[in-house]
């Protein structure tokens, strides 16, 4: 298929996935912010979503304080922030519009409808109605888009490039969500392992829709180690790093060309490390350090995809 | 001055419903206004959701607008259409013969029927095409011929669009919408179908394969999503199952066109291009163009790729060439024209110029190179100042203009707010030419939404209607 079209499909999916995950990050932050805490730590957790999406710097350039209202505006509805949910909805639609011939009309209608609706929203309404209503809407639209993609698209290259975008973005995002806890300071040392800590880890689990899965797999209280094992190494959880990297690797293997060998190799190495990794090793190394390294690796694979499939190939 | 009399497509002079509108009129009478209002609203929402829009030039980039859609169809009796389609085939055949002639032996010029300077001074004439043989000798594979009906009840050809005529996607979407909202109308009567247009277009394009390959790779070349007709480009590519490409997706090597794919370069055989000649190849035409493909003309001249429509077709649809089309029909086909031309004054002729200057208030004056309804003077509705300003423009360079009597375009009842009012229309049928001539019955009906306005172009606020050929 056309390189430009493959690139548009890939980015279309990435933006949809990113919007959904930003909603999930904000939702988990919101839940954490509702927990009782000392007044001096008020609003502390609102730095977390900025930190994990790497947008603290542009945010600080335009906002004085990081509180619920300001961060929600910046990350949900700010047209100037290229990674806001609003901007993602717009970019996804623009990418889809550029390749309308390669997606089904149902896919286009979902993205176009989402874009038309999100333009009508503002943060006053969002806070009034409860932010969760908004986050649920974002997730619903993303579910709908994935469902319609799955249910209507021929399993050709277009489908595979779209799925590649979804899984690389999701791997990146799950790693970032898992890193939330690192960036959220606990109220005090005595709380570690206590009620607040429990609620925070549960919020992380719920944010990736994995609470029930956790219970089924471990039949145990929520502990950081088990939770990390679930979200990193579990091969059958659709938002785990292992699952996403496996999907991405298989897709890459399907669409591979003369130039993609090195990218495939990198993805394969990453997959092997997840297939044979042990959670105790990861915690010995440090969870935050592990996740940082993981993000670097997925970035390398993304760059490889960009170079081997989307950059113009010249013949000599 | 007596109010102008228009031919009403739906009612005759005594305000009785014409027979071919009877079924619709009955339905209109019996359908509760609430249901009609509801469905009109539903149509707006659907068009918006599906994103059937066109981009607007001169406004913030990416601005998209909906073309207003009216539910009262333009109904054409089957017998009228049969005559029209014969006339269209005849006309487009002659125009194609003319294009071949003008780039080869120029017999029609030699015979003195069209002055040499008409060609030499025409910016749409492409000397690069002289002596180039195109498959089957066909240049205009897709033509959109604008037809109007005057108050004498006769059909006239207003314009032959041979370069990259657009609007066919609206024709198809309008039909889909009407069938969805008012299925009973289609059950009650025999309306000829149009949905197979993409099949006919694909068939036409497949016949153009340069080396007669069994399975030619066909692409649609678009300037990109800022173009006003981008929706149509994407729509047609999707309907035909061919790649929608931009200039950056193609490159030329060894006089062969390739597209960049994720599996490396792939050869392209036929390009349905929706980019004007000027922007097709920066090496041959405008060097500043980013839209085209460097080296495309060279590959084309080498016969390694076919372009639809061919380069240089503009010389035949230029408004200053229009008056000669009946002559072309007689010269190449030895037939009398079936369709009427509108009498046209060519202002570079001194007699015509004098007549037009004396009768500016009754005439429509257009730029020979203009399109989209821009830069024209509608004498009867223009103010004295507007006419004087235009007079000066004409005197400055008369060769740039033509003039025609103001036609009283026919009207069709059209919803304006909640009421029906008579509005002027025109009709653009699409004529496909490959190894044979192909049509779908009808075409795109455009309607001027402002009362009394004769300008139906979408860029000037016009709307569209479904076109029915009924038997």
**Would you call B262 and A2 a contact, using CB atoms and an 8 Å cutoff?**
yes
**Would you call A313 and B265 a contact, using CB atoms and an 8 Å cutoff?**
yes
Structural contact between residues B467 and B427, judged by C-beta atoms closer than 8 angstroms: yes
Query: Is the predicted pLDDT of residue B3 greater than 60, yes or no?
Result: no
| Torsional sign, CA A17, A22, A27, A28 | positive
Burial class of A116 by CB neighbour count within 10 A (0 to 12, 13 to 18, 19+): middle
The answer as to whether B372 is a domain residue is yes
The answer as to whether B166 is a domain residue is no
Dihedral in degrees, nearest 10, Cα atoms B9, B10, B14, B17: 150
Burial class of B167 by CB neighbour count within 10 A (0 to 12, 13 to 18, 19+): buried
Query: Is the predicted pLDDT of residue B460 greater than 70, yes or no?
Result: no
Range of the domain at B368: 343-406
**Would you call B51 and A2 a contact, using CB atoms and an 8 Å cutoff?**
no
**pLDDT value of residue B59:** 45
CATH code (residue B355) = 3.30.1490.270
CA distance B365 to B394: 9
ω into residue B439 within 30 of 0, thus cis?
A: no
- For the record, the structure tokens of B164 come out as 């990259």
Which residues of chain A have a CB within 8 Å of the CB of B248?
4, 312
The secondary structure of residue A310, as a DSSP letter, is I
The pLDDT tens digits along chain A (316 residues) read 999 999 999 999 999 999 999 999 898 888 778 776 666 666 778 888 888 788 888 898 888 888 888 999 999 999 999 999 999 999 999 999 888 878 998 999 999 999 999 998 888 888 887 888 999 999 999 999 999 999 999 999 999 999 999 999 999 999 998 887 777 655 445 555 666 777 778 888 888 889 899 999 999 888 889 999 999 999 999 999 999 999 999 999 999 999 999 999 999 999 999 999 999 999 998 898 999 999 999 999 999 999 999 975 554 4
**pLDDT value of residue B55:** 59
Q: How far is B63 from chain A (nearest CA, A)?
A: 12
CA distance B263 to A310: 10
The predicted model scores a pTM of 0.81
Query: Is the predicted pLDDT of residue B361 greater than 60, yes or no?
Result: yes
CA distance B150 to B410: 6
Mean pLDDT of all residues in chain B?
Answer: 90
Of A112, A161, A313, the CB nearest to B51: A112
Domain count, chain B: 1
**Would you call A255 and B244 a contact, using CB atoms and an 8 Å cutoff?**
no
CA distance B90 to B93: 5
CA distance A236 to B43: 45
Instruction: Say whether residue B64 is in contact with chain A using an 8 A CB cutoff.
Output: no
The answer as to whether B195 is a domain residue is no
Q: pLDDT tens across B250-293, in order? A: 999 999 999 999 998 999 999 999 999 999 999 988 888 888 99
The answer as to whether B367 is a domain residue is yes
| Torsional sign, CA A17, A168, A95, B270 | negative
Interface residue of B52, B240, B262 to substitute, partner A, most A CBs within 10 Å: B262
**pLDDT value of residue B434:** 93
**Can you tell me the mean pLDDT for B74-90?**
97
Nearest CA in chain A to B251: A314
Percentage of chain B exceeding pLDDT 90 = 67
CA distance B234 to A1: 16
CA distance A290 to B260: 38
Counting every residue, how long is chain A?
316
The answer as to whether B349 is a domain residue is yes
CA distance A176 to A51: 9
The answer as to whether B402 is a domain residue is yes
- For the record, the structure tokens of B426 come out as 């025109």
> Which distant-in-sequence residues (6+ apart) come within 8 Å of B442 by Cβ?
B76, B81, B171, B192, B194, B427, B429, B467, B468, B469
Closest CA to B446 of B437, B459, B433: B459
**pLDDT value of residue A190:** 54
The answer as to whether B204 is a domain residue is no
The answer as to whether B280 is a domain residue is no
Instruction: Say whether residue B265 is in contact with chain A using an 8 A CB cutoff.
Output: yes
Counting every residue, how long is chain B?
471
Q: How far is B64 from chain A (nearest CA, A)?
A: 12
- Please tell me whether the interface predicted TM-score (ipTM) of this complex is above 0.95: no
Looking up tokens 């990109």 gives: B224
Which of A5-14, B236-245, B459-468 shows the highest mean pLDDT? Answer: A5-14
Q: What would you report as the CA-atom Rg of chain A, rounded to the nearest whole angstrom?
A: 20
- For the record, the structure tokens of B325 come out as 């089309």
CA distance A75 to A55: 9
> Which distant-in-sequence residues (6+ apart) come within 8 Å of B69 by Cβ?
B43, B44, B47, B174, B177, B463, B464, B465
| Max CA distance (Å), chain A | 67
């Amino acid at each position: 298929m056309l390189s430009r079209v493959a690139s548009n499909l890939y980015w279309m999916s990435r933006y949809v996935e990113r919007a959904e995950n930003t909603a999930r990050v904000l939702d988990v932050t919101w839940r954490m912010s509702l927990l009782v805490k000392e007044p001096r730590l008020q609003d502390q957790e609102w730095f977390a979503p900025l930190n994990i999406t790497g947008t603290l710097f542009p945010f600080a350039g335009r906002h004085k304080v990081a509180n619920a209202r300001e961060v929600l505006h910046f990350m949900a509805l700010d047209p100037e922030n290229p990674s806001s949910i609003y901007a993602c909805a717009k970019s996804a639609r623009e990418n889809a519009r550029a390749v309308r011939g390669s997606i089904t009309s149902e896919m286009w209608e979902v993205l176009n409808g989402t874009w038309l609706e999100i333009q009508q929203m503002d943060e006053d309404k969002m806070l009034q109605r409860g932010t969760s209503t908004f986050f649920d809407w974002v997730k619903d639209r993303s579910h709908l888009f994935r469902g319609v993609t799955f249910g209507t698209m021929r399993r050709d290259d277009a489908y595979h490039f779209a799925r590649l975008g979804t899984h690389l973005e999701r791997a990146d995002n799950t790693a970032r969500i898992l890193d939330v806890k690192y960036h959220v300071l606990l109220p005090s040392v005595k709380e570690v392992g206590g009620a607040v800590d429990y609620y925070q880890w549960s919020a992380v689990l719920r944010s990736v829709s994995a609470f029930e899965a956790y219970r089924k797999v471990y039949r145990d209280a929520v502990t950081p180690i088990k939770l990390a094992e679930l979200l990193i190494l579990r091969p059958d959880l659709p938002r785990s790093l292992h699952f996403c990297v496996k999907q991405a690797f298989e897709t890459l293997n399907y669409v591979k060309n003369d130039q993609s060998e090195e990218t495939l190799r990198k993805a394969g190495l990453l997959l092997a490390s997840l297939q044979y990794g042990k959670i105790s090793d990861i915690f010995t190394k440090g969870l935050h350090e592990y996740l940082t390294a993981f993000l670097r690796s997925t970035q390398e694979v993304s760059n490889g995809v960009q170079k081997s499939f989307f950059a113009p190939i010249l013949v000599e | 001055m007596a109010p102008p009399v228009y031919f009403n497509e739906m009612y005759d002079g005594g305000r009785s419903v014409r027979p071919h509108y009877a079924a619709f009129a009955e339905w209109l009478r019996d359908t509760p206004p609430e249901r009609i209002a509801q469905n009109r609203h539903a149509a707006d929402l659907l068009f918006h959701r599906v994103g059937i829009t066109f981009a607007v030039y001169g406004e913030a980039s990416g601005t998209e607008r909906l073309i207003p859609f009216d539910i009262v169809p333009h109904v054409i009796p089957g017998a009228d259409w049969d005559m029209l389609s014969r006339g269209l085939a005849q006309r487009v055949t002659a125009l194609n013969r003319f294009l071949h002639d003008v780039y080869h032996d120029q017999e029609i010029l030699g015979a003195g029927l069209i002055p040499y300077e008409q060609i030499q001074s025409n910016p749409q004439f492409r000397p690069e095409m002289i002596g180039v043989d195109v498959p089957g000798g066909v240049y205009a594979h897709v033509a959109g011929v604008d037809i109007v009906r005057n108050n004498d009840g006769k059909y006239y050809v207003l314009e032959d669009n041979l370069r990259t005529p657009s609007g066919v996607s609206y024709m198809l979407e309008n039909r889909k919408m009407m069938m969805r909202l008012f299925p009973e109308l289609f059950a009650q009567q025999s309306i000829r179908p149009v949905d197979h247009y993409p099949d006919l277009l694909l068939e036409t394009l497949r016949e153009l394969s340069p080396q007669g390959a069994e399975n030619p790779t066909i692409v649609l070349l678009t300037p990109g999503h800022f173009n006003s007709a981008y929706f149509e480009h994407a729509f047609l590519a999707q309907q035909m199952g061919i790649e929608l490409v931009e200039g950056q997706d193609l490159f030329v090597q060894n006089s062969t066109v390739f597209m960049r794919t994720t599996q490396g370069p792939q050869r392209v055989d036929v390009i349905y291009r929706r980019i004007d000649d000027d922007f097709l190849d920066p090496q041959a035409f405008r060097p500043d163009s980013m839209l085209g493909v460097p080296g495309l003309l060279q590959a084309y001249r080498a016969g390694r790729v076919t372009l639809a429509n061919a380069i240089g077709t503009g010389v035949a649809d230029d408004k200053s060439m229009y008056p000669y089309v009946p002559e072309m029909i007689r010269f190449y086909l030895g037939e009398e024209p079936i369709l009427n031309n509108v009498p046209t004054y060519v202002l570079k002729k001194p007699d015509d110029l004098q007549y037009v200057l004396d009768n500016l208030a009754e005439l429509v004056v257009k730029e020979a190179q203009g399109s989209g309804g821009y830069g024209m003077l509608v004498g009867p509705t223009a103010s004295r100042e507007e006419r004087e300003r235009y007079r000066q423009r004409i005197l400055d360079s008369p060769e740039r203009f033509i003039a025609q009597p103001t036609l009283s375009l026919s009207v069709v009842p059209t919803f304006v707010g909640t009421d029906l009012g008579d509005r002027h229309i025109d009709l653009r049928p699409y004529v496909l030419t490959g190894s044979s001539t192909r049509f779908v019955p009808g075409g795109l009906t455009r309607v001027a939404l402002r009362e009394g306005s004769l300008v139906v172009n979408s860029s000037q606020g016009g709307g569209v209607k479904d076109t029915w050929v009924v038997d």
